Amino acid sequence: MPVVSTRDILKGLLVEEAMRRQVIQLSHDVSLDKCINQLIKFKVNALLITDETRCPVGAVSKTDIVGAFYGGLPIAESLSMDIMNGPLITCFPDDELGVALDLMRRNGVHQLFVQGAEPCAMVGTLSYSDVVALLYRYCRACPKGAVRRSELTDCSDQTQLLIVRDAMSTSVISCRQEDSLARVIEGLTAHRLGAVLVQDAKGLPVGVISKTDIILAYHHGSSLEVEARSIFKAPVASCDENSLLSDAIRHMFLKDVQRLFAYAGDPSRIVGVLSLSDAAHIRSGSCRACITSRIIAAP
Amino acid sequence: MYARDIMSPRFHILSPANSIAEAVKMFHIASVEEQKRIFGLMVIDEKDQLVGMLSMYDIILFIQPKHIHVWSEIEDLEAQAIFGELLDRVKSVRVSDIMTTSVVTVKPQTHVMAIADLMIKRHIRRLPVVDGKNVVGVVYISDLFYHLLEKFL
């Protein structure tokens, strides 16, 4: 009886092909003020925290900073060591991407640190968006992908292309403009989300609040009682649920956003949300050819 | 010869609460008034204390899309229009959010050769001159350059 194994579109791709080689690190005794400055400045999800010997001891993520805000920690006096998480979740440059993605999903993190030969040396980071960016570049080069399809003489067959609905999450959490930041944070935390949709009194989408917006509010000295309307970003970055997944991914990269809200026909009717992590989980940039390559195969 | 002898006692500053748009305007004003390109400005708080530096590099680093390498592969791109939209999204960001907070400074009595050494080793183009807790001037690399190479002028 053959041993059944699965093939994966990520098979053969290594972490080092997708990872970013810049690691933003801070000492364990710097203030949260400085942590936020570095998270915003370098647009990263998490910072590497080191001890006095410059050895990594943990990480501070945007989620940790949001927790500190909610917990009322004073931003200038509280230190990175007060909120950091450890031990670090790491992978190696020569790990397979699929293994690294599974590690991220199992641990519920958006970023892994890539460990070098020495235990204390972190040589890079890997996030969902890095994986999607790599796959998108492969898709652009693939003659069967959505990007090149327009160049084919027979482009009538659209059935193989993935659309946003195939990858999006239909669970959309929203809040009202007048809701307090405390309530917004509670919603984000309860559903383990990165952003929440803001609606007006008629239930129409008017903006989005992400964790980045919340940590900026914390940095600017806002209180937890300020209303969502004071910090949300508008307009809502959105796309039709029937749009091609490759178009949506391109849209996210060009707009530099982590997620798109999906609507059904009418932009005011939000029915789902597509994040870069959703796109990474489906492990394809554009078409089912990649998905079906995960066929059952006998070695 | 010391920092106090070559520093520019007149300098433009930013507040931590300034928006990025205000910072860009200040860069322009400073360049016009100083009659030389100003690539970095000191950030001074309400207590008159130096809390950071903001350079053009910091701003460009922040506004560039995270996956700029993907952009470079997309040939059919209206980059200018898309970039304009990106700028709309930085409205809520302040100088304090992206400034460099670890600032290297010198004292008025720091020797020019020590300043040259610092600038070369740390790749610094401007050094605030701090007396006690107050900023009294700034030494630009051009000040140092023309001072050291005056003989060739």
Give the total number of structural domains in chain A: 2
A71 and A120 fall within a common domain: yes
CATH code of the domain containing B15: 3.10.580.10
Residue B96 to residue A219, Cβ atoms within 8 A = yes
pLDDT, residue A186, reads: 96
Closest CA relative to residue A40, chosen from B57, B65, B97: B97
Out of B74, B92, B99, the one facing A216 most closely (by C-beta) is B92
Q: How confident is the model at residue B63 (pLDDT cuts 50, 70, 90)?
A: confident
**Interface residues from chain A to B (CB-CB < 8 Å):** 34, 36-37, 40-43, 129, 133, 136-137, 140, 213, 216, 219-220, 231, 233, 250, 253-256
Q: How far, in Å, CA of A159 to CA of A173, rounded? A: 31
pLDDT, residue A290, reads: 61
A243 and A204 fall within a common domain: yes
Q: Left if phi > 0, otherwise alpha if psi is -120 to 50, otherwise beta: which for A171? A: beta
Residue B71 to residue A34, Cβ atoms within 8 A = no
pLDDT, residue B151, reads: 79
Considering the domain boundaries, does residue A251 fall inside one? yes
Rounded to an integer, the average pLDDT of A207-211 is 95
Residue A40 to residue B93, Cβ atoms within 8 A = yes
Residue A266 C-alpha, separation from nearest chain B C-alpha, in angstroms: 22
> DSSP letters of B70-138?
HHTT-SS--HHHHHHHHHHTTTT-BHHHHSB-----B-TT-BHHHHHHHHHHHT-SEEEEEETTEEEEE
pLDDT value at A227 more than 50:
yes
Q: How far, in Å, CA of B8 to CA of B11, rounded? A: 7
Considering the domain boundaries, does residue A141 fall inside one? no
A122 and A152 fall within a common domain: no
A88 and A160 fall within a common domain: no
Q: How far, in Å, CA of A194 to CA of A198, rounded? A: 13
Contacts of A43 in chain B (CB under 8 A): 62, 66
Task: Specify which residues A56 forms β-bridges with.
Answer: A50
ipTM over 0.90: no
A154 and A276 fall within a common domain: yes
Q: Which domain holds residue A11?
A: 5-128
Residue B74 to residue A34, Cβ atoms within 8 A = no
Average the pLDDT over each of A91-100, A289-298, B88-97 and give the range with the smallest value: A289-298
A120 and A157 fall within a common domain: no
Considering the domain boundaries, does residue A293 fall inside one? no
User: Are A286 and B117 spatial neighbours (Cβ–Cβ below 8 Å)?
Assistant: no
Residue with tokens 């506004």: B63
Residue B97 to residue A233, Cβ atoms within 8 A = no
A250 and A185 fall within a common domain: yes
A103 and A30 fall within a common domain: yes
Considering the domain boundaries, does residue A287 fall inside one? no
CATH code of the domain containing A212: 3.10.580.10
First to last CA, chain A: 11
Q: Which domain holds residue B91?
A: 3-152
pLDDT digits (tens, 9 = 90+) for A62-74: 999 999 999 999 9
Residue A129 to residue B67, Cβ atoms within 8 A = yes
Report residue A12 as tokens: 């053969």
pLDDT, residue A76, reads: 93
Report residue A290 as tokens: 């990649």
A97 and A202 fall within a common domain: no
pLDDT value at A153 more than 60:
no
pLDDT value at B24 more than 60:
yes
Contacts of B83 in chain A (CB under 8 A): none
Residue A37 to residue B101, Cβ atoms within 8 A = yes
Q: How far, in Å, CA of A154 to CA of A142, rounded? A: 16
Considering the domain boundaries, does residue A137 fall inside one? no
Share of chain A above pLDDT 70, in %: 85
Considering the domain boundaries, does residue A140 fall inside one? no
Share of chain B above pLDDT 90, in %: 63
pLDDT value at B74 more than 90:
no
pLDDT, residue A294, reads: 41
Give the total number of structural domains in chain B: 1
Residue with tokens 């030389």: B36
In chain A, whose CA is at the least distance from the CA of B60?
A41
Q: How confident is the model at residue A150 (pLDDT cuts 50, 70, 90)?
A: low
Could you tell me which residue, B72 or B145, shows the higher pLDDT? B145
Q: How far, in Å, CA of A286 to CA of A244, rounded? A: 7
A167 and A116 fall within a common domain: no
pLDDT value at B113 more than 70:
yes
pLDDT, residue A184, reads: 96
In chain B, whose CA is at the least distance from the CA of A255?
B86
Considering the domain boundaries, does residue A143 fall inside one? no
A110 and A170 fall within a common domain: no
Residue A43 C-alpha, separation from nearest chain B C-alpha, in angstroms: 7
Per the prediction, chain B carries an average pLDDT of: 89
A153 and A83 fall within a common domain: no
